[in-house]
């Protein structure tokens, strides 16, 4: 069964600093037409940064749309003409002050498939070294380093509840499980 919707027209109804909103008219698989409104996003990265003590680097940041602070993994949007690997390195350093000796890609996920084309690329950063951070103007956050078991418990009981962090922790758990299975033993 072909489920493809064919774009008939597209109108940009809003252009912000980095997000835009479109309203498209589409032809449905049954030949009828419908309207689709969606957010265009430049893409983002999220980083699972493990320090030498086995702690995960997290951030506590106020999120205006929801009116409260969240505990999250470091993340940020991609700049034009920047690879997601370079974005991950830049965002980790800017937000937390950490650089990493070892980087590995964990996977990608689409957090809002019903209304946005945003994709988040997840990276594992290891061999961390602490440096001075370079927050963007108007960016305020607290950096935390917590044992991985505690972080996983926080995701399980709702203290960590943003989808980006939960997906990232799932990718990390799978990577670490595969790593332990490959160890001789």
Q: What's the rounded Cα separation, in Å, for the pair 46 and 95?
A: 12
Active site residue 137: yes
- Choosing from 95, 137, 142, 150, the catalytic residue is 137
Written as one string, the DSSP assignment of 1-70 is: -----EEEEEEEEEE-SS-EEEEEEEE-TTS-EEEEEEEE---EEEEEEB-TTSEEEEEEEEEGGGTEEE
Angle subtended by helix axes 148-157 and 163-182, to nearest 10: 140
Catalytic residues: 137
């Amino acid at each position: 069964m072909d489920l493809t919707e064919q774009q008939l027209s597209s109108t940009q109804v809003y252009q912000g600093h980095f997000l835009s909103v479109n309203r498209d008219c589409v032809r449905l698989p049954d030949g009828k037409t419908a309207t689709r409104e969606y957010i265009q996003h430049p893409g983002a990265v999220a980083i699972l940064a493990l320090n030498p003590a086995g702690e995960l680097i997290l951030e506590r940041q106020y999120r205006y749309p929801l009116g409260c602070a969240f505990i999250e993994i470091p993340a940020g949007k991609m700049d034009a003409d920047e690879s997601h690997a370079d974005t991950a390195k830049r965002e980790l350093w800017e937000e937390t002050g950490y650089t990493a000796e070892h980087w590995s890609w964990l996977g990608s996920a689409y957090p809002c498939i019903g209304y946005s084309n945003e994709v988040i690329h997840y990276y594992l950063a290891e061999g961390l070294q602490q440096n001075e951070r370079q927050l963007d103007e108007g960016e305020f956050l607290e950096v935390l380093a917590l044992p991985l078991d505690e972080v996983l418990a926080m995701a399980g009981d709702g203290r960590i509840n943003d989808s980006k962090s939960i997906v990232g922790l799932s990718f990390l758990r799978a990577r670490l499980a595969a790593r332990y299975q490959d160890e001789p033993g």
